[in-house]
Chain A
Amino acid sequence: MKSRNEEKKYMPEISKKEIEELRKTIEATSRKIVAENIEKMKKADLNRPKGMKYFDEIADFATREKEIRASKKEGKKVIGYTCLFAPIELILAADAIPVRVNSGWYDASKLGDRVVPVEVCPMVRSTIGAKMIALSPYLELSDALISVLTCDGMTKLGEILSDYKPVWAMTLPRVKDSEQSKRLWSEEIKSAKGQIEELTGNKIKRKQLKSAIGLTQKATKAFRRLQELRKGNPVIMGRDAMLVNQTYMWDSIERWTEKTEALCDELEKRASKKNWVCPPDTPRVMVTGTPMIWPDNWKVPTLVEEANPQGVLVADELCSGERLLYDPVGVDEWSMSDMLTAIAERYLMASTCPCFTSEDGNEDRINWMLNKIKEWKIQGVIYYVVRGCMLYAMEYTRVKKVLDGIGVPVYYLDTEYTREDVGQMKTRVEAFLEMLSARIDI
């Protein structure tokens, strides 16, 4: 009889043989899907930027896995995070590797059904399933996980994963601009700093933190440059840009910045030559809603850009996309406490996650979208929600009201972690794009 501490709180007992079998089949499909998605992206833009080659490579999980394994042997620690509220700067300052461990595998979500009911957010189920069969290399390699208590799914996901790894839960206040929330979150950031220092054995000093902040600021700069380029006629397919953003979640941030800048250089040249990836009158679409995680959950961008009539994604409001990097850490004075405050505020106050509310509701998100629509000249918004994603689903009504007011069509696309509804979704997306291009013609 096992003691209660050793027993897994949530995970069912599965035989090793079954795990191996499942792992083999799902990993094989995963590899196939990665290759297939990249192949599709290459086909969509025959004259694809050369800078994308690097991102194609890093999108393959095995590439980065090898690197992380090598640096782990050198004694580096890996810290995973489930939500973008985890203070990456602190992880970097302690000379550890930050990786985001959310899972996008459709097949793994079916395994998650053994632990939690199907009503639960499929991303959470998929992450549980991935852990069950040790599918995600990043989740397996991480020494500890930072679980930020944002939505309900994320809150319990941390608890379930604590069966395997130390999980540091960080309480995120739901009202972001009050003084007491700021105090609470600052304390959380400070305690996270202590935990990171304890795990890595490196004390986070002023200098390290400053250079870590510099790193993420440079990444933000590169990212903003890419976004700026998408303002005009499309020079890059939306999927390609989304892949660039995605890889930030697990790539070495320094190298990512370098490669993104190189990609931007190339795109700038193309823009000056008026070398567009699709006709300039292609409907410009923004997606918002539930995060889309590489590799499996790539169906919406693929559908939009391969539909007939074609659409092009020029912006997104996803926490797996632009929100990762849009806001920089703004430090007034480079003292330790000021940097910590700046980090705390950057994660808490600048975020437009729908888990927040306040007197005027989550108005920041609306403003963010309105700004995007104006500056990026967006003609239609796809509001993407997976079943079980309560917060995004509930905010739809408000977003629709506002967008109706300014005459931008918004389409509610609800789906699941499954490939079965691709055909049906294709019809829906095409109908929406048809309507958009009809509006443009008028």
Chain B
Amino acid sequence: MIMQLLGEMLKLIVLSGLALAGVLVILIWKKGLATKVTYLRFLVQAVAMVAVFYLFTYPVWQLIVLIIIFFLPLFLGRFFCGWLCPFGLIMDAITLIRRATKVRYRLLPNKLNKFLHKFRYVLFLVFLFVPLVLFLLDPPSSFNTSFLLAMLLSGPFEPLRILVGPIIPLIVPWEGPLAIGEVYFSYPYVQEAILYSELVFSDFLVNIIAGIFVLLTFVGSFFLRRVWCRFCPTGTSIAAVNRFKGFKWAPLLHIDKDEQKCTKCGICKRVCPVQVTEVYEQKEGKITGSMCTLCTRCVEMCPYEGCLKVKIGGKTLFKSRNWLETSTTE
């Protein structure tokens, strides 16, 4: 039994190691072509989605996911959101469709956006406590305290699973309500929506509620780039640490700004898919906003060579270029 578990974990470690190596190889290979970060990101997102699919086929996936959510972000910030999250890929794909139809994206008013930045903490707590309340309202028959922790992780209401919500890939390795042949489809949060509304509503209504959620996020991300990222509970938990001044040292991966090279042309502010203003407003140095998903679109679009940099542990990964030409200097 234990050996089996270890074997599975080993497989996982190998797999994630492979994925990470793939990401690194792509990064190095593409280093000379930082202007194409958008396409690179798509590639990484797709790889990550496949990796997540495989993770879900193993029983210990929750452990891995929890590590991703609680440990890695301390140093990588919301890198996960910008580069690995499957839900992010879905939203980016919808954005591509919108671009193809030549529809202009809408912008949230700055004040509303700033309000959402705070509101998502409330939302996060609600998401975290609703399953608990439901759990207490309808406790399982064989209930004892030592069982509680296990229930939190994998019981019927799985409060922590809400954090895994956006990581559900489009195709899932388990049986679900929507299937074409042997392939089962799912969508972030849909399982949770079904699970919680089942307590109150009939089966028919449950499906409608899930459908409405899918439709809302689809329409939302058609008009607003990365709409869910603005109040995603997972993203909130990831970035919560970066809000505190004492943790300014923590993000190894961050964007760095050179004040003298900046002309405040506003491009970084305009191209940001989650309307982060810190990159534009902060004068120089380490930029560690809790909203930034580190998608590095601003670095890609900044037309002043070396003004914005993506740094990992003090080492420059890549920097903004004079994108009018493919520069030969590094």
**Residue positions of A touching B, CB distance < 8 A:** 176-177, 179, 206, 217-218, 220-221, 224-225, 326-328, 330, 332-333, 335-338, 341-342, 345-346, 349-350, 352, 364, 367-368, 370-371, 374
For the complex, is B330 an interface residue (Cβ under 8 Å from A)?
Answer: no
- CA gap between A333 and B262 in the complex, in Å: 22
Give the Cβ gap from B108 to chain A, nearest Cβ, in Å.
Answer: 13
In the complex, the 10 A-B pairs of residues with the closest C-beta atoms, listed nearest first: A350-B265, A221-B324, A330-B267, A371-B260, A349-B266, A332-B271, A345-B266, A370-B260, A350-B263, A337-B104
On whether A345 and B263 interact (CB within 8 A), knowing A327-B303, A333-B99, A335-B102, the answer reads no
Interface centre among A326, A327, A332, A341 (most CB of B within 10 A): A332
For the complex, is B259 an interface residue (Cβ under 8 Å from A)?
Answer: yes
Which residues of A are found within 8 Å of B102, using beta-carbon distances?
Answer: 206, 335
On whether A367 and B259 interact (CB within 8 A), knowing A217-B324, A332-B271, the answer reads yes
Q: Is B264 within 8 A of A350, CB to CB?
A: yes
- CA gap between A179 and B109 in the complex, in Å: 10
For the complex, is B138 an interface residue (Cβ under 8 Å from A)?
Answer: no
Question: How many CB-defined contacts (below 8 Å) exist between A and B?
Answer: 70
Q: Is B110 within 8 A of A345, CB to CB?
A: no
Scoring B residues 293 to 330 as 1 if CB is less than 8 Å from chain A, else 0, what string do you get?
00000000101000000000000000000101100000
- CA gap between A341 and B263 in the complex, in Å: 17
- CA gap between A179 and B105 in the complex, in Å: 18
Nearest B residue to A370 by beta-carbon distance? B260
Give the Cβ gap from B19 to chain A, nearest Cβ, in Å.
Answer: 30
- CA gap between A217 and B260 in the complex, in Å: 22
Nearest A residue to B262 by beta-carbon distance? A367
Which residues of A are found within 8 Å of B105, using beta-carbon distances?
Answer: 333
Which residues of B are found within 8 Å of A350, using beta-carbon distances?
Answer: 263-266
Interface residues of B in 237-267 (CB under 8 A from A): 259-267
Q: Is B265 within 8 A of A327, CB to CB?
A: yes
On whether A374 and B260 interact (CB within 8 A), knowing A177-B266, A330-B301, the answer reads yes
For the complex, is B114 an interface residue (Cβ under 8 Å from A)?
Answer: no
- CA gap between A368 and B102 in the complex, in Å: 36
Q: Is A332 within 8 A of B110, CB to CB?
A: no
Which residues of A are found within 8 Å of B266, using beta-carbon distances?
Answer: 177, 345, 349-350
Give the Cβ gap from B120 to chain A, nearest Cβ, in Å.
Answer: 23
Give the Cβ gap from A121 to chain B, nearest Cβ, in Å.
Answer: 25
Q: Is A328 within 8 A of B303, CB to CB?
A: yes
With A330-B301, A335-B102, A371-B261 given, name 15 new contacts (CB 8 A).
Answer: A176-B264, A179-B110, A206-B102, A224-B322, A330-B265, A330-B303, A332-B301, A333-B104, A341-B270, A345-B270, A349-B265, A352-B263, A367-B259, A367-B262, A370-B260
- CA gap between A368 and B105 in the complex, in Å: 32
For the complex, is B103 an interface residue (Cβ under 8 Å from A)?
Answer: yes
Q: Is A327 within 8 A of B263, CB to CB?
A: yes
Q: Is A349 within 8 A of B99, CB to CB?
A: no
- CA gap between A284 and B99 in the complex, in Å: 48
- CA gap between A345 and B104 in the complex, in Å: 17
- CA gap between A3 and B38 in the complex, in Å: 63
**Could you jot down 8 A-B contacts, CB within 8 Å?**
A177-B264, A179-B110, A217-B324, A335-B104, A337-B104, A349-B264, A367-B261, A371-B260
Give the Cβ gap from B268 to chain A, nearest Cβ, in Å.
Answer: 9
- CA gap between A179 and B99 in the complex, in Å: 25
Q: Is A342 within 8 A of B270, CB to CB?
A: yes
Nearest A residue to B105 by beta-carbon distance? A333
Give the Cβ gap from A98 to chain B, nearest Cβ, in Å.
Answer: 20
Which residues of A are found within 8 Å of B301, using beta-carbon distances?
Answer: 330, 332
- CA gap between A328 and B260 in the complex, in Å: 18
Give the Cβ gap from A263 to chain B, nearest Cβ, in Å.
Answer: 16
Interface centre among A176, A337, A364 (most CB of B within 10 A): A364
Nearest B residue to A352 by beta-carbon distance? B263
Nearest B residue to A341 by beta-carbon distance? B270
- CA gap between A322 and B105 in the complex, in Å: 34
Which residues of B are found within 8 Å of A345, using beta-carbon distances?
Answer: 265-267, 270
Interface residues of B in 261-290 (CB under 8 A from A): 261-267, 270-271
Give the Cβ gap from A217 to chain B, nearest Cβ, in Å.
Answer: 6
Give the Cβ gap from A212 to chain B, nearest Cβ, in Å.
Answer: 15
Give the Cβ gap from A328 to chain B, nearest Cβ, in Å.
Answer: 5
Q: Is B325 within 8 A of A225, CB to CB?
A: yes
- CA gap between A338 and B104 in the complex, in Å: 7
- CA gap between A197 and B260 in the complex, in Å: 39
- CA gap between A352 and B262 in the complex, in Å: 11
Contact of B324 among A177, A328, A346 (CB under 8 A): A328
Which residues of A are found within 8 Å of B99, using beta-carbon distances?
Answer: 333
- CA gap between A121 and B59 in the complex, in Å: 78
Which residues of B are found within 8 Å of A333, using beta-carbon distances?
Answer: 99, 104-105
Q: Is A367 within 8 A of B324, CB to CB?
A: no
- CA gap between A332 and B264 in the complex, in Å: 16
Which residues of B are found within 8 Å of A326, using beta-carbon distances?
Answer: 263
Nearest A residue to B284 by beta-carbon distance? A367
Nearest B residue to A366 by beta-carbon distance? B260
Which residues of B are found within 8 Å of A370, using beta-carbon distances?
Answer: 260
Q: Is B264 within 8 A of A364, CB to CB?
A: yes
Give the Cβ gap from A205 to chain B, nearest Cβ, in Å.
Answer: 12
